[in-house]
Structure 1
Amino acid sequence: MKRRVVPAALLALLAVPATLHAAPGVTAQREISGLMQALETSGCRFQRNGRWHGADEARSHLQRKYDYLLRRGLADTAEQFIDRAASRSSISGKPYRVACPGQAEQEAAPWFRQQLARLRGQ
């Protein structure tokens, strides 16, 4: 009798329960997009892992992190986006920082929360 060999990658897929991740709601998507747009148009610099980057490069980086979270169903709200993508490096754990013209440098999480409050009209 001949044995069939099943590739390890297929076995790994079969071992993981299938789950469907719902996309964030329209409001969350609009808010997250608004947060990234606020950064991109802010004129601020964005620091990650000790190196400063322009706002456009920072937005690209955060978009990649957001896309990763979306694939795993981990960014259902703007607050989750801030906490899981826009606050700190997922590699080093170091907080991101934002330096805007005429303002004191600050950690990114409070800056994004301020932007979210503005988006919400608070």
Structure 2
Amino acid sequence: MGNQACQNLRLDPSRARFDTRGATALAWSGNCHIDHMASFQLPRRALLALVLGLAAAAAQATPSASEQKLIDTLILRVSKMTTMTFMRNGNEHDAADAAKHMQAKFDYFKDDITTAEDFIDRCASRSEVTGKPYKVKMPNGSMRDANEFLNAELRALRRGGDKAGAG
């Protein structure tokens, strides 16, 4: 308020207004308008931007080194399951194509994935386009849900087992 004209402020109730942010702002006589809410808008907005930025950074979690290794191992295992057929949206895909598709989805959704279970759920269980679940046709012709199948593979990996689905 360094302006000399603003030294002797008088409330002019006829110029009171209601601002669109929902707070009543009082107008003062002359060219001196004091809106106490407006004086806090810039710091509040800067603080809000900072908090949202930190939250966004925290939300972009990626897998730990051990979870990344499990994901890589799952994809590699799938690529070697040459006696199985992977069903996606009613179409058959060989093991190499299935593994490439999982890798591409993982690369796209990596910031949303922190665990191997997240990977299976987000990248290897269902179509993002149709929502249809992926299936695995076993060597004997039986069909298994890909989510169930890959979670069994993951459990075997976590136990330290080398054999689960067999390829």
Normalised to the residue count of structure 2, the TM-score between the two structures is 0.59
Query: If you compute each CA radius of gyration, which structure gives the higher value, 1 or 2?
Result: 2
CA distance in 2, matches of 1:104, 1:121: 26
Moved over 4 A (4+): none
Matched, 1:108 2:149: no
Residue 98 of structure 1 aligns with an amino acid whose one-letter code is: V
Q: Distance in 1 between matches of 2:159 and 2:142?
A: 23
Q: How many residues align?
A: 106
Aligned equivalent of 1:26, options 59, 62, 65: 65
Q: How large is the Cα RMSD of the aligned pairs?
A: 1.9
TM normalised by structure 1 equals 0.79
Letter in 2 for 1:109: N
Give the distance between the partners of 2:75 and 2:132, measured in 1 at CA: 20
What corresponds to 2:85 in structure 1?
45
**Higher RCO, 1 or 2 (CA under 8 Å, sep at least 6)?**
1
Q: Give how far 1:22 is off.
A: 3.7
* Structure 1 gap segments, 5+ residues each: 1-15
- Report the counterpart of residue 11 of structure 1 in structure 2: none
